[in-house]
């Protein structure tokens, strides 16, 4: 049997054929008017997705590079920071802060649990001189969405900066940077932006720029001041990832043509259909507030979650994601982010049903597909 693979992870995500083809055109030098035009078009497109009038800077890195850029540009050694640690990447905020001598206090949120703005206000009241709160819009580890707008209502009334890891959220759900008064927002190319991994994005509010100018942290490649000066000349400070930038322009054309509200609605429908199918199989969700980007599902009792993911991948070529340390095997994650359509959800649920049957989990065959189809048909446009 000829087997076709299906990418169903929360990142990297599937890429439209037109975006893949965009990198096949003749190569160009990055210090030319032609590339500057492309570079600035991408920058403007990113501002549209971030919903900001502030510049969005393009980094040749993964999202972790943007996380590091956020820390080193707004904080100095010895500064105090509050980390809302809700998963693997909340823990990464802590590690980056520690690496640069930032006094980080972690609020450890159980994976999949919510954290309210009232809890944040109470926590901030216990700590003086907090310079930044590091938060997550959509936790890639769990699929949980957090109340960033509510957090801003608390933080914006102080001198503290609110930093948002929106890597797997922006473009799939609302996160208007200016309207919500967010100070630093970061994202990456391999999620809703439907581009290969390798680009990260970061934007600073006017309030955050004051801290950028004061920061005493060591920085060179990720120095936002250097990036700002270069962008004024319609270029990047270092050699950019030329092919990826060209591909990102192609993807942004798709996103802007569709429009933000339709992008959000598209992802909402896919998430709702996925969860309807999961629950029809008798499986339970991990998150108490799941979002549009991915769905985390608890592994059924008696089944090795790691084996389940490997079965999906090796036998059915359906590439979902397992759970990360320290919760390996406890749940698995299905992405419905970026260039994913309704029939991709049907494929994911069908492969999951077959893989679970291989591992002796019993459910009504076809129940997941039926439940998902009802959501998709109702919302199909």
Q: Is 89 left (phi over 0), alpha (psi -120 to 50) or beta?
A: alpha
Check whether residue 235 and residue 267 sit in a common domain. Answer: no
Residue 336 has which token pair? 């419905």
**Domain containing 119: what range?**
17-257
CB neighbourhood size of 329 (10 A): 15
**Is residue 206 in a domain?**
yes
Q: Which among 239, 257, 275 is the end of a domain?
A: 257
312: three-class secondary structure by DSSP: helix
Residue 380 has pLDDT above 90, yes or no: no
270 and 205 in one domain? no
SS3 135: strand
User: Whole-angstrom Cα distance, residue 23 to residue 38?
Assistant: 13
Residue 300: CATH number of its domain: 3.90.1150.10
Q: What is the pLDDT of residue 342?
A: 97
The predicted model gives 313-324 an average pLDDT of 95
Domain assignment present for 60: yes
Q: Look at residue 1 and tell me if it is in a domain.
A: no
What are 104's two structure tokens? 């980080």
Instruction: Say how many C-beta atoms besides its own lie within 10 A of residue 234's C-beta.
Output: 13
Q: Write down the pLDDT at residue 3.
A: 83
pLDDT at 122 over 80: yes
Kindly state whether residues 285 and 168 are assigned to the same domain. Answer: no
CATH number at residue 124: 3.40.640.10
Closest by CA position to 324, among listed 351, 337, 306: 306
Asked if 150 and 237 sit in the same domain, the reply is: yes
pLDDT tens-digit map of 232-248? 999 999 999 999 999 99
Q: Same structural domain for residues 41 and 113? A: yes
165 in the same domain as 23: yes
Check residue 128 and give its pLDDT.
86
- Please report the beta strands in the chain, taking only residues with DSSP state E, as ranges in sequence order: 6-7, 56-59, 80-85, 103-108, 130-136, 161-165, 184-188, 200-204, 294-298, 318-319, 321-322, 331-335
- Arithmetic mean of pLDDT, 107-134: 97
Co-location of 268 and 207 in the same domain: no
Mean pLDDT of the chain: 96
Residue that the structure tokens 């693979």 belong to: 5
Specify whether the CB–CB gap between 337 and 324 falls below 8 A: no
Q: For the chain, how far is it from start to end, CA to CA, in angstroms?
A: 34
The answer to whether residues 243 and 285 belong to one domain is no
Q: At what angle do helices 260-280 and 242-258 cross, to 10 degrees?
A: 90
Residue where a domain stops, chosen among 241, 257, 273: 257
The residue behind tokens 């640690």 is 85
Average confidence (pLDDT) over 199-206: 98
Alpha helices in 315-366 (DSSP H): 342-358
Look at residue 210 and tell me whether its pLDDT is greater than 80.
yes
Same domain, 185 and 330: no
Specify the pLDDT at position 25. Answer: 87
Which tokens go with 313?
């991948």
- In a domain, residue 67? The reply is yes
Q: How many CB atoms lie within 10 A of CB 373?
A: 20
Residue 359 inside a domain? The answer is yes
Percent of the chain predicted with pLDDT > 90: 96
Whether residue 381 has pLDDT greater than 80: no
CA distances from 261 to 10, 47, 147, 173, 323 (A): 21, 15, 19, 9, 30
Question: Do 105 and 210 belong to one domain?
Answer: yes
In a domain? residue 166: yes
CB 59 within 8 A of CB 69: yes
Give Dmax (Cα) for the chain.
64
**pLDDT level of residue 152 (50, 70, 90 thresholds):** very high
Residue 74 falls inside a structural domain: yes
Q: What is the pTM of this model?
A: 0.96
Bridge partners, residue 187, by sequence: 201
Domain count, the chain: 2
**Predicted local confidence at residue 311, as pLDDT:** 96
Q: Is the Cβ–Cβ distance between 61 and 200 less than 8 Å?
A: yes
363: left (phi over 0), alpha (psi -120 to 50) or beta: beta
d(CA 100, CA 8): 35
Place of tokens 């992405």: 335
> Given this model, what pLDDT does residue 265 score?
97
Give Cα 132 to chain centroid, integer Å: 20
Residues 30 and 139 in one domain: yes
pLDDT tens digits for 183-196?
999 999 999 999 99
Alpha-carbon distance 8 to 2, whole Å?
19
> Which domain-ending residue is among 190, 223, 257?
257
Is the domain of 28 the same as that of 110? yes
Rounded CA gap, 294 and 333, in Å?
Answer: 7
């Amino acid at each position: 049997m000829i087997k076709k693979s299906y990418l169903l992870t929360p990142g990297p995500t599937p890429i439209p054929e037109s975006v893949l083809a965009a990198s096949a055109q003749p190569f160009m030098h990055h210090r030319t008017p032609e590339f500057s035009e492309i570079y600035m078009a991408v920058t403007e497109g990113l501002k549209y997705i971030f919903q900001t009038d502030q510049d969005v800077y393009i980094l040749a890195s993964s999202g972790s590079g943007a996380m590091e850029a956020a820390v080193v540009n707004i904080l100095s050694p010895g500064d105090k920071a509050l980390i809302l640690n809700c998963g693997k990447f909340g823990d990464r905020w802590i590690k980056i802060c520690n690496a640069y001598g930032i006094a980080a206090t972690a609020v450890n949120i159980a994976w999949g649990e919510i954290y309210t703005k009232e809890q944040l206000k109470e926590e901030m009241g216990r700590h003086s001189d907090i310079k930044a709160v590091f938060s997550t819009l959509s936790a890639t580890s769990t699929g949980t969405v957090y109340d960033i707008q509510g957090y801003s209502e608390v933080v914006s009334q102080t001198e503290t900066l609110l930093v948002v890891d929106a890597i797997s959220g922006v473009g799939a759900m609302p996160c208007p940077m200016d309207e919500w008064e967010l100070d630093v927002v970061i994202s990456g190319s391999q999620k809703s932006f439907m581009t290969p991994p390798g680009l990260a994005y970061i934007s600073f509010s006017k309030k955050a720029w004051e801290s950028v100018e004061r920061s005493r942290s060591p920085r060179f490649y990720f120095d936002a001041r250097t990036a700002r000066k270069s962008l004024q000349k319609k270029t990047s400070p270092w050699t950019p990832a030329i092919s990826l930038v060209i591909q990102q322009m192609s993807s942004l054309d798709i996103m802007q043509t569709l429009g933000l509200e339709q992008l959000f609605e598209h992802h909402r429908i896919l998430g709702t259909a996925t969860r309807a199918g999961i629950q029809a199989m008798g499986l339970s969700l991990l998150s108490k507030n799941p979002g549009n980007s991915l769905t985390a599902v608890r592994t059924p009792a008696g089944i090795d979650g790691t084996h389940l993911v490997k079965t999906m991948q090796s036998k059915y070529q359906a590439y979902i994601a397992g759970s990360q340390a320290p919760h390996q095997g406890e749940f698995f994650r299905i992405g419905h982010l970026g260039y994913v359509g309704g029939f991709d959800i049907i494929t994911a649920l069908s492969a999951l049903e077959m893989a679970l049957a291989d591992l002796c989990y019993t459910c009504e065959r076809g129940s997941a597909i039926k439940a998902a189809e009802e959501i998709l048909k109702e919302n199909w446009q």
